[in-house]
Structure 1
């Protein structure tokens, strides 16, 4: 029996935050913004939302794998961003898919695409539905839409124990990959906040970023080869550890966001499950001192698995909001060798920047789950569940991420922080909050992940939220950063992506789309216009 996901927010229908989680969160928000209480809108029930009738008639041959019922269409209408939950709470879903297909194999996908071609429908590939950038949302101008959910194609098909790789179907959710690898010595170990409700094919299509803060930061680093079903045929790339034979065909599909075809399976690199681990946290006087240490660690080639620098007030419980300290979550892991030397050198670099390590954590083999690191880890995993509760209370609460090289980092960070503060004040008429953390770090620069908050006016909260997010995202590109480091482009980032990528590249990408999708049926409006 399939576990039903919430149609209106993150997670599953049978789970939610506990009162013991909600109460301190509400208390902290009220204290931070000087509120006496909250007007809480109840979450929507499926029957409260009216959907337009489906505009397609499913042929009898496809009826076993295509559904048009109310709840299925509702579940596949939006992603899981704040603005998606907000529209659900407003009971507003004007452009749902007309049908949702659930192929069991590649031949089913071929049949579904042929049907879409015949009836003039747009096809939207769908993994786990965790998009936060409107990547799976039907546009208003689409006359007919068939969403193609890959969740039935969810198997680890083959494991190569010599080369440490596996052939895996694209529709498998993250936890199910590890379940199927449990009897092997291997792990894929590509975790992210959306891990439970996202798929391998979705990770590849959106160039997802995983939990590794250095070295293997993106799904690109895991993919050996793949199979893709396009409207004009099926393509399979050759499985190799590397190749200098022209532009990589894999790279054309990694990050293609469903505009060229549907990723049905891939060979991905595995690693042995780690048996050695060294972890601690390090406190710094401020964020910039911590950034200097992180730069030193990345440029020393130590390659920690976790090297996340956070403002202490964001990361740790009971930290006053005016506290300027930063905390670094630092972890090394290996399946081959002890890590004391790597940790010792990293802490030397931290001390050179005034960092103070948590000595007790170094002696605790479970320190990555306890102490400061454990507190932040638990908060991070639970964070997506708070979004619907923020929407219900009219709270501005979201994130945007970008990246910048080290020599421009301080100026860039200061500008984006100031712009975000100013924008919240101008849009809402109130002071807001802004924090920053590093999620991934490289020898030449960090990924900056900004979290912002404030109080919205409920009658216009969606407009206010979009004004803040749009202005801040535009600023990242205007000042030389990327519009997204690992959240994909989708329809939300599209205007900013247009400014970032060279126009000649866009023309080349349009050429590829014309060859693989000549009628422009595959997820139009994402990345480029057909």
Structure 2
């Protein structure tokens, strides 16, 4: 299965055989050298993890857990960081100071209970780990407090669909299942979870739930929250399971406590998830605009129309040019519709009509069915190019990091009314920070999700860096844009989670009484404070 540990890259994204081939690398380097002509693009190869470059192992698991545990250097190195730009750079530089002492792979819920019992008694921190695709420091044992050691609790051995309720269209699923394996198990029932984040191939159901992940789809049920029927969670104070219900007004939702809790309150072991029929009808188109404001307005009107496109992704001119090969003055709006029940051509036609009303010009006629289970995009060249680039972006990012290029993203969400001021502030902050720390660079923007009341803009930064200070340079840019986001009423994260990297701004965003209630829940559920210390609290 793609994404398994046998082929995973320990230092970067995905699999070893999925990395850029020589032709892709040459093409990427040529494009970047034209955009950042003074950057030293010398490639740096990752080190080979060995015991003498990792911190010494500080703890010894009890004999009853020994067969679940690994202290192999490559295993420990691969579980040290997530997959953010700063993580990849630190791996490339051999900075593994926060490596876990032991990687533990429970096979059953009982194993999870036993691990938490051991660690609570021994003062060992536990960092829950699924696919390891966190981009916010969420799986890193960068600990607040005095701990005897740290365990990376890798739940990917718990990866089965245990039960399917075809009548209610729901399934009971173990939290460690990776996206492709989950869909493979649902396919015989002609059902799908329909949750496709960019990390789909290398992330788990438990990770999606713990981080309140957003999928690829732009509208309606794209957040994992909307697809969750009930959760089963192991905490140091016991095992809890919520009742399966389509809805309930019985007090605050127990599921909402653990959705987005990022492993600080408990370890999600199972969930009943709402499923859908697999789509049969798809249609898509992309629309070019000469003016950015007109493109934003058209996107807003489509989002407020009740048409509910599966894809409604607006690319600004820089994003459209760099990653879709489209030279436009205002942007490209990629539209896609799908249904398991009825044709969707009329919905697409109405969305295109809305775009025409705001100066949009379709790049190609609406195209019908596309292959596969993923959402459709238009079949014109720009949309197809962007989709291919989207799937390869993480591998491209790794190749750029090896060549001292800062290539990273950040995202937020805001209301339509507040977007123009927020966008201007973010762009100005990013541009100025890049100028100060790098000299030259490019900032891009796209909408990943849209709601009737606002968009979720997603920004890209490409700048020439210095090999010896890449992390510090990116951190300066990240701090500047984060201050702009919080200062102008945006959220510090729309779907990337909080982790350790977003903590300072999350502390500003959340209400003080809620922070106190969250801390009280932490003390109750995790009295020894061993679960993912430093995340959220």
- TM-score, structure 2 as length reference: 0.95
Separation in 1 of the partners of 2:92 and 2:368?
47
**In structure 1, the residue corresponding to 2:433 is in which secondary structure?**
helix
Match of 2:489 among 473, 480, 491: 480
Cα offset, 1:43, TM superposition: 2.3
Residue 341 of structure 2 corresponds to: 336
Residue 409 in structure 1 maps to residue 419 in structure 2 = yes
**In structure 2, the residue corresponding to 1:362 is in which secondary structure?**
coil
Structure-2 change in CA distance of 1:312 and 1:20 (3 Å): farther
Residue 530 of structure 2 corresponds to: 521
Residue 271 in structure 1 maps to residue 276 in structure 2 = yes
Check conservation: 2:127, 2:263, Cα contact below 8 A.
yes
Separation in 2 of the partners of 1:487 and 1:471?
18
Check conservation: 1:312, 1:319, Cα contact below 8 A.
no
Separation in 2 of the partners of 1:244 and 1:71?
48
Residue 124 of structure 1 corresponds to: 127
Cα offset, 1:358, TM superposition: 2.7
**1:116-195 equivalent positions in 2, closer than 5 A:** 116-140=119-143, 141=145, 142-195=147-200
Residue 437 in structure 1 maps to residue 440 in structure 2 = no
The runs of 5 or more residues in structure 2 that have no matched partner are: none
**1:216-365 equivalent positions in 2, closer than 5 A:** 216-316=221-321, 323-362=328-367
Separation in 1 of the partners of 2:5 and 2:397?
24
Separation in 2 of the partners of 1:292 and 1:125?
42
Match of 1:471 among 460, 468, 480: 480
Separation in 2 of the partners of 1:322 and 1:333?
28
Residue 519 of structure 2 corresponds to: 510
Structure-2 change in CA distance of 1:30 and 1:115 (3 Å): same
Residue 200 in structure 1 maps to residue 205 in structure 2 = yes
CA RMSD of aligned residues (A): 1.8
**In structure 1, the residue corresponding to 2:417 is in which secondary structure?**
helix
Residue 21 of structure 2 corresponds to: 18
Aligned pairs, how many?
527
Residue 64 of structure 1 corresponds to: 67
Separation in 2 of the partners of 1:436 and 1:309?
8
Separation in 1 of the partners of 2:134 and 2:36?
30
Structure-2 change in CA distance of 1:235 and 1:453 (3 Å): same
Residue 382 of structure 1 corresponds to: 392
Separation in 2 of the partners of 1:130 and 1:329?
26
Residue 53 of structure 1 corresponds to: 56
Bigger shift: 200-209 or 473-482? 473-482
Cα offset, 1:119, TM superposition: 1.3
Residue 214 in structure 1 maps to residue 219 in structure 2 = yes
Cα offset, 1:419, TM superposition: 1.1
Check conservation: 2:320, 2:327, Cα contact below 8 A.
no
Separation in 2 of the partners of 1:319 and 1:106?
45
Cα offset, 1:412, TM superposition: 1.3
The runs of 5 or more residues in structure 1 that have no matched partner are: none
Check conservation: 2:161, 2:174, Cα contact below 8 A.
yes
Check conservation: 2:46, 2:94, Cα contact below 8 A.
no
Check conservation: 2:321, 2:327, Cα contact below 8 A.
no
Separation in 2 of the partners of 1:36 and 1:415?
27
